[in-house]
């Protein structure tokens, strides 16, 4: 390509308005100017809050800039393996400012020696699976391990064991272990790519968070570039794509969400109302069918009820006859005894007459 053509393209790119989103990656109504304003406001707010906290708090807090994508519906599939997203700028400060822990297979000494042989010096600690099952099994040692490191890398061969060994505390603070391939020939490059990337963690919820920057070390321009690169990559991992996205925003670890893009709700509630109307019509039809079928069931059930009533009345008649017979017997006995009494009294009277 001639140099003049290259200069013309560069000039056109520089003169392009900031609202012009990259074709095919962002929707037409996505405005990078809105994203730039949100980034500038968020970093200014963070600087103000940090200055106020320095006067009252002894230890600084871990703060990161998070891209939050809210969806209309959740997914039914949950995956443990995160999706790597390459960014123009590293979302974390380079080591040793960022402490990195590597979780490896056993024996861990083998992988420590491998890191030394490859000249990898930016890994702060290597922990084997046996150590997680033994030394770090109690709650307090695991909590200290979590707080001592900002990033956790994990051998992809033992990644399925991590949820049980690390527990919920690592996942609640977004410190899920990142899988790496420790069998690569260029292990140093493999680990460096893992540290300089961000990750999308698939879940069944309707909110997804991706770390894109660190306040204080990442400038506003770098944060904006990471944001514009992470949004289409993250939405590409969501089932339904942009049609399923409700809103996009950014926030720090302790701030509110600043909106960057919101989906149009025109027709959304009308469609929901139509769906509810269809459900109501189905319910009405089902009720009508039940009412039609109900009398037939009653006529069929009358015969057993009458038979049961007749069976219940029959013992009552027998009991009345038995009772009447029981009452009549004493009367007959009483009547039979009277002549015997008269017969006994007659001899006595004859004796008295003699």
**pLDDT in 10s for each residue of the chain, 354 residues:** 444 444 444 444 443 333 334 434 788 889 999 999 999 999 999 999 888 888 887 777 778 999 999 999 888 777 778 889 999 999 998 888 889 999 999 888 999 999 999 889 899 999 999 999 999 999 999 999 999 998 999 999 999 999 899 988 998 888 889 999 999 888 999 999 999 899 998 888 899 999 999 988 889 999 999 999 999 999 999 988 999 999 999 999 888 999 999 998 765 555 445 555 665 666 667 767 766 765 554 444 555 555 555 555 555 444 444 444 444 444 444 444 445 444 444 444 444 444
Residue 276 belongs to what domain range?
A: 20-85+197-280
Q: Is residue 183 part of a domain?
A: yes
267 and 206, same domain (yes or no): yes
107 and 185, same domain (yes or no): yes
Residue 246: C-alpha distances to residues 31, 68, 208, 249, 262 (Å)? 16, 11, 12, 10, 6
Q: Is residue 188 part of a domain?
A: yes
Query: Among 280, 308, 323, which residue terminates a domain?
Result: 280
Of all residues in the chain, what percent are helix, strand and coil, respectively (each to 5)? 55, 15, 30
| Per-residue pLDDT, 285 | 72
73 and 210, same domain (yes or no): yes
Confidence (pTM): 0.65
DSSP-assigned beta bridge partners for residue 179: 154
Q: Is residue 69 part of a domain?
A: yes
| Per-residue pLDDT, 51 | 87
Q: Is residue 316 part of a domain?
A: no
Query: Among 228, 256, 280, which residue terminates a domain?
Result: 280
99 and 155, same domain (yes or no): yes
> Residue 154: helix, strand or coil by DSSP?
strand
- The Cα 199–Cα 91 span in angstroms is 10
DSSP-assigned beta bridge partners for residue 69: 208, 248
Domain count, the chain: 2
134 and 72, same domain (yes or no): no
User: DSSP strand E in the chain: where?
Assistant: 65-71, 83-85, 100-104, 125-128, 151-155, 178-180, 198-200, 207-213, 245-252, 258-262
217 and 260, same domain (yes or no): yes
Q: Is residue 57 part of a domain?
A: yes
Query: Among 194, 210, 244, which residue terminates a domain?
Result: 194
| Per-residue pLDDT, 212 | 93
Kindly give, in sequence order, each residue whose CB lies less than 8 Å from that of residue 214, ignoring residues fewer than 6 positions away. Answer: 63, 64, 65, 91, 92, 93
| Per-residue pLDDT, 102 | 94
The CATH number for 268's domain is 3.30.190.20
71 and 204, same domain (yes or no): yes
| Per-residue pLDDT, 353 | 45
273 and 229, same domain (yes or no): yes
112 and 31, same domain (yes or no): no
Q: Is residue 308 part of a domain?
A: no
Q: Is residue 266 part of a domain?
A: yes
> Residue 20: helix, strand or coil by DSSP?
coil
120 and 162, same domain (yes or no): yes
| Per-residue pLDDT, 321 | 46
The CATH number for 148's domain is 3.40.50.790
Q: Is residue 101 part of a domain?
A: yes
123 and 265, same domain (yes or no): no
47 and 139, same domain (yes or no): no
């Amino acid at each position: 390509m001639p140099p003049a053509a290259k200069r013309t393209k560069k000039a056109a790119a520089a003169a392009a308005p900031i609202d012009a989103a990259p074709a095919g990656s962002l929707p037409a109504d996505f405005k990078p100017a809105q994203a730039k304003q949100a980034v500038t406001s968020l970093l200014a707010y963070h600087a103000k809050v940090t200055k106020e906290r320095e006067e009252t708090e002894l230890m600084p807090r871990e703060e990161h800039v998070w891209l939050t994508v809210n969806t209309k519906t959740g997914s039914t599939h949950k995956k443990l393996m995160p999706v790597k997203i390459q960014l123009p700028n590293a979302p974390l400060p380079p080591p040793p400012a960022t402490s990195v822990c590597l979780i490896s297979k056993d024996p861990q000494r083998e992988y420590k020696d491998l890191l030394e042989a490859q000249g990898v010096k930016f890994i702060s600690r290597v922990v084997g699976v046996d150590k997680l099952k033994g030394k770090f099994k109690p709650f307090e040692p695991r909590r200290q391990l979590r707080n001592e490191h900002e990033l956790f890398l994990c051998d992809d061969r033992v990644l399925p064991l991590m949820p049980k060994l690390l527990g919920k505390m690592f996942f609640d603070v977004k410190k899920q272990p990142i899988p790496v391939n420790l069998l690569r020939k260029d292990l140093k490059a493999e680990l460096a790519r893992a540290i300089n990337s961000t990750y999308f963690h698939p879940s069944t919820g309707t909110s997804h968070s991706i770390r894109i920057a660190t306040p204080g070390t990442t400038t506003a321009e770098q944060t904006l570039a990471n944001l514009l690169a992470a949004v289409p990559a993250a939405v590409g991992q969501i089932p339904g794509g942009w049609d399923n996205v409700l809103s996009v925003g950014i926030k720090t670890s302790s701030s509110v969400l600043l909106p960057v893009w919101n989906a149009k709700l025109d027709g959304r509630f009308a469609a929901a109302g139509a769906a509810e109307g269809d459900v109501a019509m189905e319910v009405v039809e089902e009720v009508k069918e039940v009412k039609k079928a109900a009398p037939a069931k009653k006529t069929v059930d009358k015969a057993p009820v009458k038979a049961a009533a007749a069976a219940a009345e029959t013992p009552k008649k027998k009991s009345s006859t038995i009772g009447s017979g029981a009452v009549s017997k004493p009367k007959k006995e009483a009547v039979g005894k009277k002549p015997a009494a008269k017969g006994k009294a007659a001899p006595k009277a004859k004796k008295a007459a003699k």
